[in-house]
A and B are shown apart, each in its own frame.
Chain A
C-alpha cells in the first residue's frame, strides 16, 4: 500500500479515537470544564501533561534543529526538561494547595489586587496565542505533505477536531484525549528511531545507539564519524557547536524558567486530587517527556549522518525519491553553482549548493532511511497528535482567562454557573477560530514570538509566583512593578534585536553577548531584584494574605480546587 492510503487509515483511526473520547467525557460544570473535576489520577495527568507540553515544535522541529546545531541544540533539550524540576519542587505542590482554577487566580488573590490579576490575564493570553498559532500551522504542514491537501484545508480539519473536543469537553475532554494523544505520539516517535538505530549501529535503543560504533564494520563511533564529516565539509564540530558559553547558559535558563511559568502547563497540576499527587504527577510527566527528549538528540545525529552520506557529493540526477518529493514543497532546494551536476553540501556559504529546511528532518527521516510506508504514516499521525494536544491545552487557558478571570472575577461576579460555562465554551470557540486564522495567515514574526513566549513567561509569571510562595513579605507593589518592568524590558529587547525597532542592532550589540532568546533570564533577574527592593520599601501585605502564604506551605487540608 502506498504512503497516502496508510496515512488516511492511521490518521483516520486516531481522529475517531479522539472524537470518541470527547463524546464520552463531556463537561457538565465549570469545575469539569476548567480542571476536569479535580479527580485526574497522577499517572493520567502525567501523560496528559507530557502531551500538552510536547508540541508540534518538540515532535517535528526539535530533532531537526539539533541535527543542524549539534551540541548547541542542548539548549532545547535541557531547557525544555529542566523546568519540570523547578515546577515540581517550587511551584506545583503549593499552587495545588492554593486550590483555584487558574494562574491569574493565584496572582490576583496572593497580591490582593485586580491590577495584578489583569496583568496576569494579559500575559497568559499573549503567551498562549503566540504558541497556538504555531500548532495550527504544524497541523496544516503535516496534512499538506502527507495527504496532499492544501495547507489551508489541513488547518480547517485540525480546527474542526480541536473545536469538537475542547468546546464540548473542556479540561475533562482535553485531559483524556491528551492521554490517548501521548500514546500515539510517543509510539510514532519511537518506532522509526528504533529502526534507524538498528540500521546504523545495530543497537535498537537510540539512547545507546547514539554512542555506539557504526554497524558498517569500520569500528568507528557514530559521533566520531559525524565530527569527521563535519570537519571535512567545513561545518562546526558536531559535539562542540558554535554558540558562546554565556549565550548557551542564558538560553537554557530562560527556557527552563519559562517552562515553569507557562500557564497551560501549571494549570494541569490543578486537576489532581491532592498535593502529594501534584508532586508525583510532575515526576511522571517529566519521565514521559524524557522518553522523547533523550531520543531526539539520537535522531538528530542519525539524521545528520544519513543526510550527509546520502546527498554529499552525489550526482543530482540520481538523488533518491524523497529528495524530489520535498523539493516540490520548496523545503529542500538545490542550486548547482559550479555546474558540475553534483551536490556540494559544505559549511562555506559561497560554495554550498543545498538548502534544507530544518523542520523537515523528523518527517523526512523515515524516508531517508528507507523505512516501510506504514512507519511514515505513523509519523504523520504522531505529528498531528502533538500539535492538536498542545493546541487544545492552550485554547483552554485562553477560554478560562476570558470566562473565569475576566468575566466571573471582574466584570460580572454574580454570573450563574451555567452562564459562566456558556462563556467558557464561547471563549474556546473564538480562540479556535483566531488560532486557525493565524495558522492560515501566519504572521512573519511567528518564529520570533515563540521565543518571546518563553521570555515573557520567565520575565513575568515565574518570579511573581515563586516570590508569592517563598517570600511572605512580598506585597502587591513589589510584584506588580517587577512584572511590568520584567515584561517591558523583555519586549524592548526582543523588538530591538528581533524586529529591528528602536534602532535595531546585530549580534555584536547584544547586551553581555546574550541573544534575544536568552534574554528572558536577564529580565527575570531584573524582575526579582525590583520586586524585592520595592516590596521592602512599601507596606507589608495584609494579615489574611500572610496567612494564605502560611497555609499553602502545608499539604493537609487541600480539598479539590473550589471557587471560594
Chain B
C-alpha cells in the first residue's frame, strides 16, 4: 500500500470516529434532552425526571467524556499511521 492510500485510509478512519462520536453527541443532547424529553420524563431516577436530567446534567457529562475518548482514539490512530508528532 503506498503512502497516498495510507493517508486516505487514515482520513477515512478519522471521519468514522467523528461520525460515531457526533451521533452520540446528537443523541444525548438533541435526542434525550429535547426531542424525546417528554417520553423520558415519565421515568424517574431519584428526584430527577430522566429527560430533564439529560437536558440539565447528563448531556454535559457525556460531552466531556466524548472529547477524551476522541483524544485517546486519535492518539492511537496517529501512531498507527505514523503521523504523530514525536
A residues neighboring B (CB under 8 Å):
66, 71, 73-74, 77-78, 81-82, 84-85, 88-90, 93, 207, 210-213, 221-224, 239-240, 245, 248-249, 252-253, 274-276, 279-280, 282-283, 286-287, 290, 293-294, 297, 550, 553-558
Q: How far is the CB of A2 from chain B (nearest CB, A)?
A: 36
Contacts of B84 in A (CB 8 A): 276, 555-556
* Number of cross-chain contacts by CB at 8 Å: 131
- Taken together as a complex, chains A and B put the C-alpha atoms of A216 and B78 apart, in Å, by 55
- Give Cα A93–Cα B84 distance, bound, in whole angstroms: 12
Give me 13 A-to-B residue pairs in the complex whose CB atoms sit less than 8 angstroms apart, sorted by A's number: A78-B60, A82-B25, A93-B74, A211-B45, A240-B41, A249-B30, A276-B78, A276-B85, A290-B60, A293-B60, A294-B57, A294-B61, A555-B83
Check if A207 sits within 8 Å of B74, measured CB to CB: no
User: Beyond A245-B34, A252-B34, is A85–B67 a contact (Cβ under 8 Å)?
Assistant: yes
Task: Name the one of B30, B35, B52 contacting A71, with C-beta atoms under 8 angstroms.
Answer: B52
- Cβ-defined contact, B56 with A290, below 8 A: no
Chain B residues close to A by CB (< 8 Å): 7, 10-11, 14, 18, 21-22, 25, 29-30, 33-35, 37, 41, 45-49, 52-53, 55-57, 59-61, 63-64, 66-68, 70-71, 74-75, 78, 82-85
- CB pair B49–A249 under 8 Å, yes or no, is no
With a cutoff of 8 Å between Cβ atoms, the chain A residues found around residue B46 in the complex are 211-212, 221
Say yes or no: B34 contacts A558, CB within 8 Å.
Answer: no
- What 6 A-B pairs have minimum CB-CB distances, sorted nearest first? A221-B47, A283-B67, A211-B47, A297-B56, A74-B55, A211-B48
Q: Is the interface of A mostly helix, strand, loop or mixed?
A: helix
| Residue of B whose beta carbon sits closest to that of A208 | B46
Determine if A286 and B35 form an interchain contact, defined as CB atoms under 8 angstroms apart.
Answer: no
The 8 Å CB contact of B75, one of A213, A249, A276, is A276
A107 CB, min distance to chain B CBs, angstroms:
22
In the complex the two chains form, is B53's CB within 8 Å of A211's CB? yes
Within the complex, the shortest CB–CB distance from A334 to chain B, in Å, comes to 30
CB distance from B76 to the nearest CB of A (A): 11
Complex CA distance for A275 and B85, rounded to whole angstroms:
8
Which residues of the other chain, A, contact B59 by a CB distance below 8 angstroms? 77-78, 81-82
Nearest CB of B to A70, in Å: 9
Contacts of B47 in A (CB 8 A): 210-213, 221-224
How long is the Cα–Cα vector from A239 to B49 in the complex, in angstroms? 8
Q: List the B residue with the shortest CB-CB distance to A279.
A: B71
User: A557 to B83, alpha carbons, bound, how many Å?
Assistant: 9
Query: Quick one: which of A77, A293, A555, A558 contacts B55, CB cutoff 8 A?
Result: A77
**Cβ–Cβ < 8 Å partners of B7 in chain A:** 550, 553-554
Residue of A nearest to B22 (CB): A89
Residue pair B63, A81 in contact (C-beta under 8 Å): yes
Contact A297 B64 (CB under 8 A): no
- Say how far B1's CB is from chain A's closest CB, in angstroms: 16
A84 to B33, CA, bound (A): 17
A294 proximity list for chain B (CB < 8 A): 56-57, 60-61
